[in-house]
Amino acid sequence: MPLSPVETLASIFVMAIVTFFTRALPFLLFDRGDHPPRIVLYLGKVLPPAIIAMLIIYCLKGVTFDTPAGWLPTLLAGGTAVGLHVWKGNDLLSIFGATVLYMVLVQAVFV
Amino acid sequence: MDRKTLAAAFPATVPVLMGYLAIGMAFGLMLQTAGYGVGWALLMSLTIYAGSGQYLGVSLLATGAHLSQVAFLTLMINFRHLVYGLSMLEKFRGMGLRKFYMIFSLTDETYALLSAAKVPQGVDEHRYYFAVAMLDHSYWIAGSVLGSVLGSALGFDTTGVDFAMTALFLVIAVGQWKKAGSHLPALLGGGATLLSLLVVGAEDMLLPALGMIVILLTVLRRRLEEVPEKKEESLCR
């Protein structure tokens, strides 16, 4: 612990403020009484699918192709999540099923 | 917060419960290993509330980074949040003081849940959003405190439970895909991020990816934008 408690508090405070700032900026810029510019509303509407796709790729960034253990559990469990969801359309079932499968695969099958 | 709203919001947040307990515990454990006990874990999860941001925070604290460096790196890792609010401007309107909390708690997962939210009939949508945000935050706090207290003493092997986050995003993507008029935003988001991963690597992939996404979506506006409402049209032109 190279920092004193006060320095630690200061660091945490800075992290909290900066994190809040990144989340608040769109509201500071565009959340006035009148309506936000159309381009902003447009981006707000089309961004979610693009962002979710970005987060999926981000979640998969640790996948490697050296051994099957590096990519096969992710492929199987990811495919299960999508497959279950297209088939049954039940959020919890898809997420739970895929996660349990993934845990079994990484803990017991591809060790 | 009334029970009816909590009961309505809870099922939607269960995937985040699983994911946040897992990655929150990993955070608490990391922080513990770096020499900071449960009080610090609680404080950070209460006031910062950012997954990857707090992971970074552990190494910043452990190395005694200068405040300017703390500010700069935190900004870089949380940069993607700059655009999340754009989709929430309308949703959070009229939420009064609760809006500050909604903005504070707009993590990747809460953003994902809120943009996909199907508010049940008879439930006030603003209360529902607030309940989702608070539940998610409480899971995160619980996870980091548990991780700090229990440490590696936990008997149950939780390896891989964080896949719940990936599965959550996949399931939301499937839902969006079914509803979408155009699949271009999703394909473009995935493509741009993949390209960024291959070119710049896993460490710094998000900023270029986000830049490409915003630029491409802006360029494609004419193609993707629905016919605007007549009233708006006459006001703007």
- Name A28's Cβ contacts closer than 8 Å, sequence gap at least 6: none
pLDDT of the residue at A20: 97
Residue B155, pLDDT > 70, answer no
CB contacts of B79 in chain A (<8 Å) are 22
Percent of chain B scoring above 90 in pLDDT:
56
| Contact with chain A for residue B198, Cβ under 8 A | no
Judge: A102–B163 Cβ closer than 8 Å, yes or no.
yes
| Contact with chain B for residue A109, Cβ under 8 A | no
Structure-block tokens of residue B18? 């699983």
d(CA B176, CA B178): 5
Nearest CA-CA partner of B229 in A79, A67, A42, A104? A42
A44 residue type, one letter: G
Q: What is the dihedral of CA A81, A83, A85, A90, to 10 degrees?
A: -80
Residue B153 pLDDT class (50, 70, 90 cuts): low
Judge: B88–A59 Cβ closer than 8 Å, yes or no.
no
| Contact with chain A for residue B188, Cβ under 8 A | yes
B15 residue type, one letter: P
pLDDT of the residue at B234: 35
| Contact with chain A for residue B71, Cβ under 8 A | yes
Residue B236, pLDDT > 60, answer no
pLDDT of the residue at B232: 36
pLDDT in tens, B12-24: 999 899 889 888 8
Judge: B173–A47 Cβ closer than 8 Å, yes or no.
no
Judge: A58–B180 Cβ closer than 8 Å, yes or no.
no
CB contacts of B80 in chain A (<8 Å) are 51, 54
Residue B228 pLDDT class (50, 70, 90 cuts): very low
Residue B1, pLDDT > 80, answer no
Nearest CA-CA partner of B110 in B92, B128, B83, B137? B137
Residue B54 pLDDT class (50, 70, 90 cuts): very high
| Contact with chain B for residue A75, Cβ under 8 A | no
Could you tell me which residue, B184 or B206, shows the higher pLDDT?
B184
Number of A to B CB contacts under 8 A, please give it: 269
Judge: A31–B93 Cβ closer than 8 Å, yes or no.
yes
Contact at 8 Å (CB) between B63 and B35? no
pLDDT in tens, B59-79: 899 989 999 989 988 998 888
* Test the A interface: residue of B45, B75, B166, B224 with most A CBs within 10 Å: B166
pLDDT of the residue at A33: 67
Three-state SS at B91: coil
Structure-block tokens of residue A59? 């979640």
pLDDT of the residue at B231: 38
B43 residue type, one letter: L
CB environment B196-226: b (16+ within 10 A), e (fewer): bbeeeeeeebbebbbebbbebbeeeeeebee
The list of chain A residues with pLDDT below 70 reads 33-34
Judge: B170–A82 Cβ closer than 8 Å, yes or no.
yes
pLDDT of the residue at B25: 87
Three-state SS at A61: coil
* Test the B interface: residue of A4, A17, A18, A96 with most B CBs within 10 Å: A18
Rounded to the nearest integer, the mean pLDDT of chain B is: 88
Q: Tell me which DSSP letter residue B181 carries.
A: S
| E strands in A1-111 | none
CB atoms within 10 A of CB B72: 14
Residue B91, pLDDT > 80, answer yes
B24 to chain A nearest CA, in Å?
16
Judge: A2–B63 Cβ closer than 8 Å, yes or no.
yes
Judge: B197–A57 Cβ closer than 8 Å, yes or no.
yes
pLDDT of the residue at B226: 64
pTM equals 0.83
* Test the A interface: residue of B78, B163, B198, B212 with most A CBs within 10 Å: B163
